Amino acid sequence: MDVATIIGILLGFTVVFGAIVSGGGWQIFFNLPSLAITIGGMLCATLIHFSLPQFLGIFSVVKKTIVAKIPPPSELIQRMVNYAAINRRDGALALEQEIGNVGDLFFVKGLQMLVDGQDPEAIRELMGLEIQNLQGRHSTGKKILEFMGAAAPAFGMIGTLIGLVQMLRSLESPESIGAGMATALLTTFYGALAANLIFLPLAGKLGIYSKAESTAKEMIVEGIHAIAKGDNPTTVREKMQAFISQGRREEVKANI
């Protein structure tokens, strides 16, 4: 669970809401037609740009970014070193009962191939392809969020232009000028807020999450590949530690 994202969004809306309430009622900042044109226009433009499956997939990609838990490298290394020791002592088949203890489906798949005695290079190639597909999905998700972050202010401006034209046409009632302009500006406000507090930062987080998850998965592939080749626990640890920075490396011993 990525706490920073949730804190950031909640706190951000609290700050904005606080500024709104401190200056008067919040009702003048809520206008359904304004919301409809800003968010609706943005969603329509996104639908035109991307294909239907890509568009529908963005919600699950974002949800996974926030909810998913990437195991810390040290945990991955400890686990893999244990498996290497078991593999050397009892053979690959003895790893079968460990599969139930692993939550991550990608890890399970790798272990299963190990138990099945598949060729090390074949395991690496197949799992490497899955990582590529994962990165492709993340990259598309990032592009969609960035497009939304560009489209939201654009439709906010379009909504403000509509409101301005309508207001200017009814200048006969001068007392309504202020209210008309205020409403016209709301769409620009919605667009700027949606882009800068949601879409653009989320696109950035997706990129950072994608890199972290890819690294974790690459460490798993490296570890499984090493075990499949019959490397001893120390070699497995060293190969996996090549992915993390010097300062964070710890001495890990097989613990079985």
For residues 41 and 233, which CB has a smaller minimum distance to a copy of itself in the complex? 41
Question: What is the smallest separation between the CB atom of 29 and a copy of itself, expressed in angstroms?
Answer: 7
Q: From CA 135, how far away is CA 150, in angstroms rounded?
A: 23
Question: What is the smallest separation between the CB atom of 172 and a copy of itself, expressed in angstroms?
Answer: 8
* Phi, psi of 150, rounded to the nearest 5 degrees: -90, -35
* Residues 73 and 248: beta-carbon distance below 8 Å: yes
For residues 20 and 99, which CB has a smaller minimum distance to a copy of itself in the complex? 20
Torsion 212-214-216-222 (CA) sign:
negative
- Which token pair is 217? 């998965």
For residues 47 and 93, which CB has a smaller minimum distance to a copy of itself in the complex? 47
SS3 91: coil
Question: What is the smallest separation between the CB atom of 104 and a copy of itself, expressed in angstroms?
Answer: 16
- Which token pair is 14? 């609290």
For residues 120 and 204, which CB has a smaller minimum distance to a copy of itself in the complex? 204
Closest CA to 141 of 223, 218, 207: 207
Question: What is the smallest separation between the CB atom of 82 and a copy of itself, expressed in angstroms?
Answer: 26
Closest CA to 224 of 77, 95, 114: 114
For residues 99 and 200, which CB has a smaller minimum distance to a copy of itself in the complex? 200
Question: What is the smallest separation between the CB atom of 10 and a copy of itself, expressed in angstroms?
Answer: 9
Q: From CA 197, how far away is CA 199, in angstroms rounded?
A: 7
